[in-house]
Amino acid sequence: MKNAGSPKEAIRERALELGFDDCRVTTAEPPGSLPQFERWIDSGQHGEMAYLDRGRFKRADLKLVLPGARSVIVLAINYDPAGRTAIADPPALPGVIARYARYRDYHDLLAPPLQLLAGQVNQLGGPGTRSLAYVDTGPILERDLAQRAGIGFIGKHTNLIQRRGGNWFLLAEILTTLELPPDAPEPNRCGHCTRCLVACPTRAITAPFQLDARRCISYLTIELRGPIPTELRPAIGQRIFGCDDCLAVCPWNRFARTGRLLRDSMRVDLEHPDLLELLALDDDSFRRRFRETPIWRAKRRGLRRNVCIALGNRRDPRALPALQQAARDPEPVVAEAAHWALAWIQGGT
């Protein structure tokens, strides 16, 4: 690392050297959006994500997460899939996986450089400095802190948007007892645009800047452990893990860039996954294929449930034998989804 004029400049320079695409700083004070978050939790719109409720007190006071915390370093990691190669012979019945999940698990990829940067922060702070790093795992309101740090602004779809990167990026944070001068917040730049509200297949964006997670396809296909509500299943289409629709229509994506840290970890086999092949995976083959990807979070039963619904939405008779076998699955959530798909393909409701 070259010499830098201040600890903050040195941290930012080191972050860029390690491959992060942006690095900014805010204070450890609670974000101003905290009351809205608490109302969202109290209304039950977080669904079964009970960890959000359990950690609400820490989210309100970062000193409960790291005693003496004075600053938060927020990092952006782009994953725009520029330059992806189309496969010559796509499967007859392909599924759709959210873009961020078409890489190796970002938690594993980002942890080493993040720990290196946290070590640099402690070294710059001197004896007694403590820092705590998170990659989408800590009890903090990282989106809101990132907005206050100037990483981006919160769009009407409730996700963060970068002026120079659009929607395609991940966040990581370092809480530290080292006091650093904060960066200026990023003002909202959505204007009159409502493309994301119109694009949401399940109308989970109930109003500008308001999301009912219980209707969101990302929640339904990843976080929800039980059956997906039948009235929402047709809108899921062939999505089997996550949804990018509200992100993909954002006009700020014209400035998206390919991220350096994730570029070499793309999984080509997840570009156009074969639904019938996925439904046939046993425990061992599922583990070998997905253990190091975000899809591991859904577990085999969750993925099989999602695949059954996607096949039902395809209404292709070629899926009937596989679905008939899945209808005998010992996991009730899989068997029920397979029965639904069979009825859907055969003309039922």
User: pLDDT tens across 149-178, in order?
Assistant: 999 999 999 999 999 889 999 999 999 999
| pLDDT-derived band at 85, boundaries 50, 70, 90 | low
* Cβ atoms within 10 Å of 198's Cβ, excluding its own: 12
CB 257 within 8 A of CB 76: no
Same domain, 148 and 199: no
Residue 258 falls within a domain, yes or no? no
Domain assignment present for residue 93? The answer is no
Which tens digits make up the pLDDT trace of 124-137? 999 999 999 999 88
Residues designated as active site: 136
Task: Round to whole Å and give the CA distance between 243 and 262.
Answer: 19
Contacts of 31 (CB under 8 A, 6+ apart): 141, 144, 145, 147, 148
Q: What is the pLDDT of residue 178?
A: 98
Q: What is the pTM of this model?
A: 0.94
Model confidence over 97-117: pLDDT tens digits?
A: 999 999 999 999 999 999 999
Q: What is the pLDDT of residues 11-29, one digit of tens each?
A: 999 999 999 999 999 999 9
Domain enclosing residue 135, as ranges: 7-83+105-176
User: Do 110 and 230 fall within a single domain?
Assistant: no
Q: How confident is the model at residue 83 (pLDDT cuts 50, 70, 90)?
A: low
Give bridge partners of residue 92 from the DSSP assignment.
Answer: none
pLDDT digits (tens, 9 = 90+) for 48-77: 999 999 988 899 999 999 999 999 999 999
Let me know if residue 121 belongs to a domain.
yes
Domain-embedded: residue 316: yes
3-class DSSP assignment, residue 319: helix
pLDDT above 80 for 236? yes
